[in-house]
Amino acid sequence: MSRQPGLISDDTAALVAGARWITVFSGAGMSAESGVATFRDAQTGLWARYDPEALSTPQAWESDPALVWGWYQWRAHLVRVAEPNAGHRALADLSTAGMRSDDGQEAGGGEARAVMVVTQNVDDLHERAGTPVVSHLHGSLFAPRCSACEHPYPRTEPSIPGPETFRIAVPRCQVCDALVRPGIVWFGEALPADAWNRAESAFRASDLILVVGTSGLVYPAASLPERAARADIPIIEINPESSLLTPIATHRIRAGAARALPALVEAITR
């Protein structure tokens, strides 16, 4: 990997190199270079092409479960055929990058910095790149559950709907026979308490926050970095555009995640 002059300031590199507890707060831009669409980018964003009211609310589910189920199965299929990008992979290296043991060797687990991923993404690309996710704030495409008794639905090979109709038959719960629903947090629903609590703990424990690829528009998720800023925890934003969280960022890297994160890891490894 060649060094990219100017992309990572010395200040930014020093901040990351000195941090021991980093929370990565990721959004859809993290996976954009894996070919997974964001929500709000003009033209390519999902909400530019599909109506969230008709697909991503409890009311949509009530009125047309086959459409909602099929749309999420289609999205799960698109993620299954996508691969983690260089940004996901760089995050997996961040815990040991530039850490040296007493004998000058690259450090092993004992001296690693903690990298805690709190994501709004419902894909599994962080995990597939080797970074466990502390909290999926908005659920997962791969954790369907019963809409009545909440029993997890075992993963099976999905039926893949065509984008013309999306509608496919919704499976039924093996315990109570109610419809199985996507394991996604829809607009108007509360975030899962355990995911929220784990996210809050990670932010509280951190000496640095990396905000990667989010518009910062959706609450309560966006309140987590806002609260960190009020507690004077430094925040590095990685995003090719400005976002609603740009004003609270203490440092900014104006590039896509797949370019910025490997450059950051390289900058602290030299």
Binding ligand OAD (rule: CB under 6 A), the pick from 73, 140, 206, 243 is: 243
Active site (catalytic) residues: 138
Burial of 210 (0-12, 13-18, 19+ CB in 10 A): buried
DSSP result, 19-39: -SEEEEEE-THHHHTTT---S
Angle formed at CA 42 by CA 36 and CA 48, multiple of 5 degrees:
75
Question: Residue with the closest Cβ to ligand OAD?
Answer: 29
Q: How many residues bind ligand OAD (CB under 6 A)?
A: 26
- Residue 100 carries which DSSP code? B
Tokens of 8: 């990572």
**Interface with ligand OAD, residue 28, by CB under 6 A:** yes
Q: Which of 17, 21, 45, 57 binds ligand OAD (CB under 6 A)?
A: 45
Residue of 8, 12, 15, 29 that binds ligand OAD (CB under 6 A): 29
The residue behind tokens 């908005």 is 138
Residue 104: exposed, middle, or buried by beta-carbon count in 10 A (0-12, 13-18, 19+)?
exposed
> Quick one: 39 or 71, whose CB is closer to ligand OAD?
39
When the beta carbons of 20 and 49 are compared against ligand OAD, the nearer one is: 49
Of positions 18, 169, 217, 219, contacts ligand OAD by CB under 6 A: 217
- Which residues would be at the binding site for ligand OAD (CB under 6 A)? 27-29, 32-33, 38-41, 45, 120, 138, 184-185, 213-215, 217-218, 238-241, 243, 256-257
